[in-house]
Structure 1
């Protein structure tokens, strides 16, 4: 099995944001996302792999590939093309949480935005709260 790259590191989150955010808008949005995600999770930001800022952690197990391990609860990355928000479970029962979010593109289990002002921040908080709640409930199931 391939070694996982998305693991906690000791790299400084703010140094990463300074180096990686390729414009002032993305830099400011990244700092705002740190505040929002810290508020929702109650956790400090931590670098996961070389380019994701993650908050908290949970245990996961996949049913199809039998992979398991630790992953952050929510996170983001200020990538060149768009900001990747890892705040969505990808589950159909959570699809309704995207309804009033604003302007974004959806991946399998993340969403992509150009800038934070394109989305409804209250709806983003609700989405993150539901995602954190869901992942924490999965922790209990995965311990058994």
Structure 2
């Protein structure tokens, strides 16, 4: 779990945010992800900061003593790609990522340029497993 800047939830309208995404593919994909995450999490989306659609919450505490709260699942329709956040990282998903389709990753981010090019069943499996892991008691504590 990477040390990340703290983003706080807002009361902003998530659908209005998604509707305002400039890039047509990112906007379309964001609407599809709203449905997918709703199925996976059973939660309503909330805008965290100005541009992250998050679901649920978890508390993290680093060895440094820094504590905070973050969405247990979420995504952001960025200019270059849609960023899917996996707070538990990618170690448990290597086999699935091989079957996902075109993507890139960083420490806890999965970058997708077009959901039409990925296997949505594989993506749903990754998101469901991550949600279950991050939502479990004790996740994020060192």
| TM bucket, shorter chain | 0.7 to 0.9
- Mark the runs of 5 or more structure 1 residues left unpaired by the alignment: none
Compare relative contact order (CA 8 Å, sep 6+) and give the higher one, 1 or 2: 2
1:141 deviation in Å? 5.7
SS at match of 1:6: coil
**TM-score normalized by the length of structure 2:** 0.86
- Mark the runs of 5 or more structure 2 residues left unpaired by the alignment: none
CA 1:88–1:53: 2 relative to 1, 3 Å? same
Distance between the aligned counterparts of 2:69 and 2:135, measured in 1? 12
C-alpha RMSD over aligned residues: 2.1
Runs of 4 or more above 6 Å deviation: none
Distance between the aligned counterparts of 2:41 and 2:121, measured in 1? 15
Aligned pairs, number: 138
CA 1:141–1:103: 2 relative to 1, 3 Å? closer
- Mapping for residues 1-80 of structure 1, pairs under 5 Å: 5-19=6-20, 21-63=21-63, 65-80=64-79
